[in-house]
């Protein structure tokens, strides 16, 4: 039985689909996930290395600030619509799972018009355009942030479920804190470990501020794992020392999470969900030009929930990091409270929970005449 996963463009829309698909196969071995993505998105690099069949289509985003650029989006949509039609005619899916982004919109529209059941996984506290557009057509919507529900117009037949983000959670195979520290060359006990992570591509703004902060002098007994991103690694590699580990890419990132007590990171839904699953409090620096300012909304929402500190990029400097990090290290009660807030938002079983719901939806809809 085929289930189509539609979404991508960025890792925040693709990786949740992969996590759900893997969990769904464990729950229902008779299901065969199939991915529909965009040729220009991250999926062109990720899906060929995955275990799932896929097709990459000539999909383009809507340009809301530069609408004159949408001619290519409209022209390509005609050919994409025909390709989706051929795909469905070849083998009609039992369900379509939307995970957001411009790569999912046309597939969801086609499913809606052909009576194919739809569910969506919504990653951000302020849902994207596609999520909002198709919420009322869904059987179920799985929310990373329960606060997102108030922005969705649903039908009486749509169930909104607070599941959290589908991630690869800590497991019994994960490294212990002392072992992870030792793997990074840090003392097994004592002090704190800070993770700096600007996403898989890195963040030049965060990197510059962290470099300025280190130049001011690291606090005593603080150790740093710093993922710069490949594009700017050469600029900051010289900061490597016995207390600072500089890497272009953190893989497996679980080894970094296992060693970490505090993080400075972007505010994407997958990043924050992974941090919280590992009970890591964070200083969140949202990407200022993210679509619809969703990272800013995420950071503000999580700060209000007592799970993180929101630091706008305009305020991001070396001295500001010195103030915030130094203050947290000097106030263990506040650091502990943030860790407890992070743990309260954690949903490490989200992928499994969503897969169980999807299996139930398939069973219900296939029984219907």
Query: What DSSP letter does each residue of 162-175 carry, written as one string?
Result: E---------TTSP
In a domain, 262, yes or no: yes
**Pair 181, 140 in one domain:** no
Give CA 19 to chain center in angstroms: 11
pLDDT at 320: 98
CA dihedral 353, 359, 364, 369 (to 10 degrees): 150
**Pair 333, 353 in one domain:** no
In a domain, 246, yes or no: yes
pLDDT at 9: 82
In a domain, 171, yes or no: no
d(CA 356, CA 336): 33
Q: Looking at residue 229, which CATH number applies to its domain?
A: 3.40.50.2000
C-beta pairs of 56-62 under 8 Å, 24+ apart in sequence: 57/83, 57/84, 57/103, 57/106, 59/102, 59/103, 59/106, 60/102, 61/9, 61/101, 61/102, 62/102, 62/129
Within 10 Å of residue 190's Cβ, how many Cβ atoms? 9
In a domain, 24, yes or no: yes
d(CA 122, CA 284): 20
Residues 183-206 have a mean pLDDT of 93
**Pair 228, 334 in one domain:** yes
The per-residue pLDDT for range 330-348, each reduced to its tens digit, is 999 999 999 999 999 999 8
Burial call 98-125: b when 16+ CB within 10 Å, e when fewer: bbbbbbbbbbbbbbbeeebbbbbbbbbb
Q: Is the dihedral of CA 236, 242, 244, 245 positive or negative?
A: positive
Output DSSP code: residue 218: P
**Pair 224, 108 in one domain:** no
Using CB atoms within 10 Å of the CB of residue 219, give its burial: 0 to 12 exposed, 13 to 18 middle, 19+ buried: middle
In a domain, 46, yes or no: yes
**Pair 218, 323 in one domain:** yes
Percent of the chain at pLDDT > 70 equals: 94
d(CA 17, CA 34): 10
The mean-pLDDT minimum among 56-65, 148-157, 195-204, 237-246 falls in: 56-65
**Pair 24, 59 in one domain:** yes
The per-residue pLDDT for range 100-142, each reduced to its tens digit, is 888 899 999 999 999 999 999 998 888 988 999 999 999 999 9
- What residue numbers bound the domain in which 327 lies? 177-345
Higher-pLDDT residue of 299, 74: 299
Start-to-end Cα distance in the chain: 18
The per-residue pLDDT for range 80-98, each reduced to its tens digit, is 899 999 999 999 999 999 9
- At 168, the pLDDT band (50, 70, 90 cuts) reads confident
Strand order in the sheet with 262-265: 244-247, 222-227, 192-197, 262-265, 282-284, 308-310
User: Under a CB-based contact definition with an 8 Å cutoff, are residues 8 and 38 in contact?
Assistant: yes
Residues 68-82 have a mean pLDDT of 69
Residue 282 backbone phi and psi in degrees, to 5: -140, 150
In a domain, 290, yes or no: yes
Residue 265, preceding bond cis, omega within 30 degrees?
no
In a domain, 114, yes or no: yes
**Pair 262, 151 in one domain:** no
Which residue in 168, 176, 175, 172 sits closest to 349, CA to CA? 168
Residues 137-165 have a mean pLDDT of 94
**Pair 12, 147 in one domain:** yes
**Pair 340, 353 in one domain:** no
**Pair 80, 197 in one domain:** no
Q: Is the dihedral of CA 285, 344, 135, 150 positive or negative?
A: negative
- At 187, the pLDDT band (50, 70, 90 cuts) reads very high
pLDDT at 174: 82
Residue 155 backbone phi and psi in degrees, to 5: -90, 170
d(CA 246, CA 229): 10
- At 64, the pLDDT band (50, 70, 90 cuts) reads low
**Pair 117, 10 in one domain:** yes
pLDDT at 66: 61
Residues 293-298 have a mean pLDDT of 88
Higher-pLDDT residue of 321, 64: 321
pLDDT of residue 68 exceeding 80, the answer is: no
Model-level pTM?
0.82
Number of domains in the chain: 2
Cα→Cα distances 56→185, 204, 350, Å = 42, 30, 27
The per-residue pLDDT for range 278-291, each reduced to its tens digit, is 999 999 999 987 66
pLDDT at 60: 66
pLDDT at 169: 77
The per-residue pLDDT for range 5-22, each reduced to its tens digit, is 999 888 888 999 999 999
In a domain, 172, yes or no: no
Higher-pLDDT residue of 66, 137: 137
The per-residue pLDDT for range 207-225, each reduced to its tens digit, is 999 999 999 999 999 999 9
**Pair 133, 185 in one domain:** no
């Amino acid at each position: 039985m085929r289930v189509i996963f539609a979404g991508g463009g960025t890792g925040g829309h693709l990786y949740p689909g992969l996590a759900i698909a893997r969990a769904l196969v464990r729950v229902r071995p008779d299901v065969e996930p199939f991915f529909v993505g965009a040729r220009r998105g991250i999926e062109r690099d990720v899906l060929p290395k995955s275990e799932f069949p896929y097709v990459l289509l000539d999909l383009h985003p809507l340009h809301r600030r530069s609408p004159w650029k949408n001619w290519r989006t409209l022209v390509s949509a005609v050919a994409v619509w025909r390709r989706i039609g051929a795909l469905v005619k070849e083998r009609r899916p039992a369900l379509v799972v939307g995970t957001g982004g411009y790569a999912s919109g046309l597939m969801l529209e086609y499913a809606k018009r052909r009576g194919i059941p739809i569910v969506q996984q919504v990653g951000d506290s302020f849902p994207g355009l596609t999520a909002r557009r198709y919420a009322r057509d869904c059987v179920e919507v799985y929310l990373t942030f329960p606060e997102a529900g108030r922005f969705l117009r649903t039908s009486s037949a749509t169930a909104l479920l607070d599941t959290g983000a589908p991630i690869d959670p800590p497991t019994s195979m994960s490294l212990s804190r002392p072992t992870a520290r030792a793997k990074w060359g840090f003392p097994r006990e004592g002090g704190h470990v800070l993770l700096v992570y600007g996403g898989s591509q890195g963040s030049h703004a965060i990197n510059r501020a962290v470099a300025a902060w280190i130049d001011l002098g690291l606090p005593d007994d603080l150790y740093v794992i710093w993922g710069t991103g490949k594009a700017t690694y050469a600029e900051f590699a010289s900061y490597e020392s016995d207390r600072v580990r500089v890497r272009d890419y953190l893989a497996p990132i679980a080894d970094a999470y296992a060693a970490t007590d505090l993080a400075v990171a972007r505010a994407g839904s997958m990043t924050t969900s992974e941090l919280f699953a590992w009970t890591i409090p964070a200083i969140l620096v949202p990407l200022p030009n993210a679509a619809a300012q969703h990272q800013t909304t995420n950071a503000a929402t999580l700060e209000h929930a007592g799970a993180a500190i929101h630091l706008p990029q305009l305020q991001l400097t070396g001295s500001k990091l010195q103030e915030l990090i130094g203050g947290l290290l000097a106030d263990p009660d506040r650091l502990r409270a943030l860790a407890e807030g992070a743990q309260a938002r954690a949903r490490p079983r989200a992928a499994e929970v969503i897969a169980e719901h999807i299996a139930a939806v398939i069973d219900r809809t296939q029984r219907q005449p």
